[in-house]
A and B are shown apart, each in its own frame.
Chain A
Amino acid sequence: MEERRHTSLHYEMELQEIKNSLIYLGALTEKAIQLAMKSLTQRNTDLANQVIRDDDEIDKMDTEIEERCIKILALRQPAAIDLRFITTAIKITGHLERIGDMAVNIAEKAIQLNEEPQLKPYIDLPRMSGLVEEMIKNALDAMIKGDLQTAEKVRETEEAVDNLNEQIFRELLTFMMEDSKNIHRSLLVMHVSKNLERIADHAKGIADMVTYMVTGENVRHRPQN
């Protein structure tokens, strides 16, 4: 559906800038997850420290986007699709900021894990992080295009991530039962997996807000089949 432009080009630009900033913030969080995972799989603590440092930029961006949204609410009194977009943007930036924090959590666990011998080869965790990065990308893509199908795809992927998390949990249990010396490292790896699973929840939250933005229908607390 072709969107008509606002009579006020400044308003049009302000809305576009918020969209651009959300995309940029999304890219920052994806990069943070990638680096955090790389620091784990390549046992490179420098990368983990970079993730922790770079989180300031994510926090700054989040504050900036929220301020811009509040300014539009106060000065432009948006209605209908614009109102739904602004409320969605405020929620999305909150989700992305939390995703950044979780990348930091992963980096912190990576630093600890890198100080001990590797417990096991990382196979499922990189698969999981690949899925969650795709979810974030798709969720933001859905926002830009107002694409409900892509938003639905994000929700579907969340289930796959949940399943991987369960699987990793069970596998780590066996390691812990085998040898109590494995417990500490197993718990750290479990933290990583849990954080990825929660990132997927946030990506799903973004997709749910996109559905609200497009249809006006709140699907966040829809019972799952």
Chain B
Amino acid sequence: MVVMGGKEIIQLDDVNFYYGECRALSNISMKFVKNKVTALIGPSGCGKSTLLRVLNRMNDLIDGTKVEGKIFFEGKNIYAPDVDPVEIRRKIGMVFQKPNPFPKTIYNNISYGPKLAGLGVEDMDTLVEQSLRQAVLWDEVKNILNKSAMNLSGGQQQRLCIARALAMKPDVLLMDEPTSALDPISTAKIEELIEALKKDYTIIIVTHNMQQAARISDETAFFYMGNLIEYNKTEKIFTNPDMKQTEDYITGRFG
């Protein structure tokens, strides 16, 4: 078990994950610390995205998958029979690789989730503004809230998706390569946003961009072939990792 300093919010206890016969995660035990940014890195097929989706039960939606072990979110096993996966996904939000706004107005992109979930929001205008401000998008869209979200640039769309996730008042944000489809300026804006958001949220991010992991994360976990090889402070991983495999990967001595 790898333990980091700080209050844990998610804990994995000997987790295995299977796609049919194929084991995608092997005996993963780790803790994610509250109000930190944790980066999951590793080559394609190492299990990092699978792990991300296991954390909010997104893999439930894929047939033939199986989870073993326990995953605790604030002390409660999220795979216990009495747990509603929809409720879990509300508390553990997700942002994907490609911006995927709804083909609706900017305003409705934000309000749709809370309405559907029956959050009973008294003042929707305030929630929309708050969420857009948190995602540092407000100033750019405040005069076009009733325009289609599809007209926004890629970077703006991705920040809208983040705002949309924040409107659900989650505790944790999962991000699966959130900037890989964006230009450097939009990427810098999202990275800046991530650093600002960790004050209120716990962020777990999958990235193929090693410099991005180095820039924005507090902790980094390196995965290889479904195993957690090394989990440590980001600074330690990128200057002097303990494991040879980690070093080979981050210095480009792989394959």
Residues of A participating in the B interface, judged by any CB pair closer than 8 Å: 3-8, 11, 77-84, 215-216
Contact = CB atoms under 8 A, between A and B. Distances in A.
Contacts of B255: 7
Interface stretch (B129-137, B184-192, B234-242): B234-242
Contacts of A11: 252
Interface stretch (B12-20, B62-70, B78-86, B243-251): B243-251
B214 interface: yes
B254 A7 contact: yes
A7 B252 contact: yes
Contact of B211 (A5, A6, A77, A216): A77
Nearest to A215: B240
A84 B241 CA distance: 12
Contacts, number: 41
B252 A80 contact: no
Main secondary structure of the interface of A (DSSP, over half): loop
Q: Which of B210, B248, B250, B252 has the most CB of A within 10 A?
A: B252
- Interface size range of chain B in the complex: 10 to 19
Interface of B: 210-211, 214, 237-241, 246-248, 250-255
A6 B214 CA distance: 20
A11 to B, nearest CB: 7
A154 to B, nearest CB: 22
Nearest to A77: B211
A80 B250 CA distance: 7
B247 A80 contact: yes
A81 B237 CA distance: 11
A57 B23 CA distance: 60
